[in-house]
Structure 1
Amino acid sequence: MFTGIIAATGHIAKIEPQNGDWKVTINTGKLDMSDVQLGDSIAANGICLTAITFDQNHYTADVSGETLQVTTAGDWQVGTEVNLEKALRLQDRLGGHLVSGHVDGVGVVKNIHQDGRSWRYQIESPLALAKYIATKGSICMNGISLTVNQVNDCVFDVNIVPHTRQETTIKNLTQGARVNLEVDLLARYLERMMNAPQADSEQYSKPTQKNTNLTSQFLAENGFK
């Protein structure tokens, strides 16, 4: 799990195609790698990746063919800048919102304009995700926890304050750019709860009757008195 609070930006240092998937090495920039262990999760642009090797300045991860198809990872090239976040620990502050690192779909930047000292980004989401995006709700875009300002069908707006724009890769986005989107976990679970088949409550309220040879006489004969 992650929070959507970007710790550092890095860049793609090496891509090794591996029979339909990739082995990717990421330069971690200023990310503190001192407490990273083999097998830890480190998100890159909102994609949860497992560190299979690492040092103080890099980590290497396998990227499956599925991930290459359903996220923007397939667009990566050597030098592509990525947002980085290590997995959440229980004692950490939850500064953003709960993020799984499992990208739900890819959106497209429709418009960017300055709004005071901030910037307003207009994003078009896939139709299947639109129902999960709500005004003043949370969404994760390229690994960044953001608040939705307004929604109009499949298009939503987010406001990017100067610090977020400066410290993440969002400053590199242009109109037409593709972005990873992960909707709020609560929205997905709520939909599942609302649409799941209803269990027959009677099967849980009535005790199950089973034939048994356990009697008071049997217990007495076997030393239970």
Structure 2
Amino acid sequence: MFTGIIQTIGKIKSIKAGTFCFEARSSFFNEVEIGDSIAVNGVCLTVIEIGNDYFKADISQETLRCTIFNHLSTNNSVNLEKALRLNQGIDGHLVSGHVDGIAKVVERFIEGESRRFKINAPKNLIKYIAKKSSVCINGVSLTVNNINDCVFDINIVPHTVKATTLGELEINSKVNLEVDIIARHLEQLLHH
């Protein structure tokens, strides 16, 4: 589990046959061990190799199909968050790291130091998104400001613009979308 509060921005160092290497500041890797989970742009990945300023993770074909990893290349920036520990508070919301689908930025506005985005969600996921609920975009916990059909609005405050890769998003950028885990489980319970 994760919180959607990004701890650092990293970069894709290399991609070889489904194994991605991510680099970041060395202090991020304190207390990280092989087998640990790290969310990369909101995708829970398992550390298979670790160095002073990098880690490697295998990415399955299923993950490549369901996320934006097929659209990324070396030197692209990524949001990184280590897994939630039981002695840690939750500042964002509960994020599983299991991306539900790919959404697309359809409008972008600069409002002072903040950014506002309109994001088009896949039709099968919009039912899980509600005004003033939480969503996770590229690993970042955000609040939905408004929703109209399949498009929802989010605001990115100046701190989040600086501390994540979201400030780099442009119109037509594809993003990883994870809807609220509680909404998904409620639907499953009600269905059965």
Q: TM-score with structure 2 length normalisation?
A: 0.97
Find the aligned partners of 2:25 and 2:129 in 1 and give their Cα distance.
32
8 Å CA contact 2:115, 2:167 repeated in 1: no
Q: Which amino acid aligns with 2:165?
A: T
Q: Deviation of residue 56 (structure 1)?
A: 2.1
Q: Which residue of 1 aligns with 2:60?
A: 64
Q: Deviation of residue 116 (structure 1)?
A: 3.9
Instruction: Verify: 1:95 aligned to 2:96, yes or no.
Output: no
Q: Deviation of residue 70 (structure 1)?
A: 1.1
Q: Which residue of 1 aligns with 2:2?
A: 2
Q: Which amino acid aligns with 1:10?
A: G
CA deviation digits over 1:137-161, x for unaligned, max 9?
A: 0000000000000011110000100
Q: Which residue of 1 aligns with 2:23?
A: 27
Find the aligned partners of 2:172 and 2:140 in 1 and give their Cα distance.
19
8 Å CA contact 1:120, 1:159 repeated in 2: yes
Q: SS in structure 2 opposite 1:78?
A: coil
Q: Deviation of residue 31 (structure 1)?
A: 5.2
Q: Which residue of 2 aligns with 1:185?
A: 181
Gaps of at least 5 residues in structure 1 are 197-225
Q: SS in structure 2 opposite 1:103?
A: coil
Instruction: Verify: 1:13 aligned to 2:13, yes or no.
Output: yes
CA deviation digits over 1:71-117, x for unaligned, max 9?
A: 00111111010000000000111000000000000000000102343
Q: Which residue of 2 aligns with 1:107?
A: 103
Find the aligned partners of 1:80 and 1:26 in 2 and give their Cα distance.
10
- State the identity as a percent: 48
Name the count of aligned residue pairs: 192
8 Å CA contact 2:26, 2:52 repeated in 1: no
8 Å CA contact 2:6, 2:81 repeated in 1: yes
State which structure, 1 or 2, has the greater radius of gyration over its C-alpha atoms: 1
Find the aligned partners of 1:31 and 1:150 in 2 and give their Cα distance.
38
Gaps of at least 5 residues in structure 2 are none
8 Å CA contact 1:12, 1:25 repeated in 2: yes
Find the aligned partners of 1:166 and 1:135 in 2 and give their Cα distance.
25
8 Å CA contact 1:9, 1:31 repeated in 2: no
Q: Which residue of 2 aligns with 1:128?
A: 124
Q: Using CA pairs below 8 Å that are at least 6 residues apart, which structure has the higher relative contact order?
A: 2
Q: Which amino acid aligns with 1:121?
A: F
Q: Which residue of 2 aligns with 1:44?
A: 40
8 Å CA contact 1:8, 1:30 repeated in 2: no
Q: SS in structure 1 opposite 2:84?
A: coil
Q: Deviation of residue 69 (structure 1)?
A: 1.1
Q: Which residue of 2 aligns with 1:204?
A: none
Find the aligned partners of 2:25 and 2:76 in 1 and give their Cα distance.
13
Find the aligned partners of 1:110 and 1:32 in 2 and give their Cα distance.
33
1:198-209 equivalence runs, <5 A: none
8 Å CA contact 1:112, 1:121 repeated in 2: yes
Q: Deviation of residue 30 (structure 1)?
A: 5.7
Q: TM-score with structure 1 length normalisation?
A: 0.83
Find the aligned partners of 1:119 and 1:30 in 2 and give their Cα distance.
29
Q: Which amino acid aligns with 1:77?
A: S
8 Å CA contact 1:9, 1:30 repeated in 2: no
Q: Which amino acid aligns with 1:143?
A: G
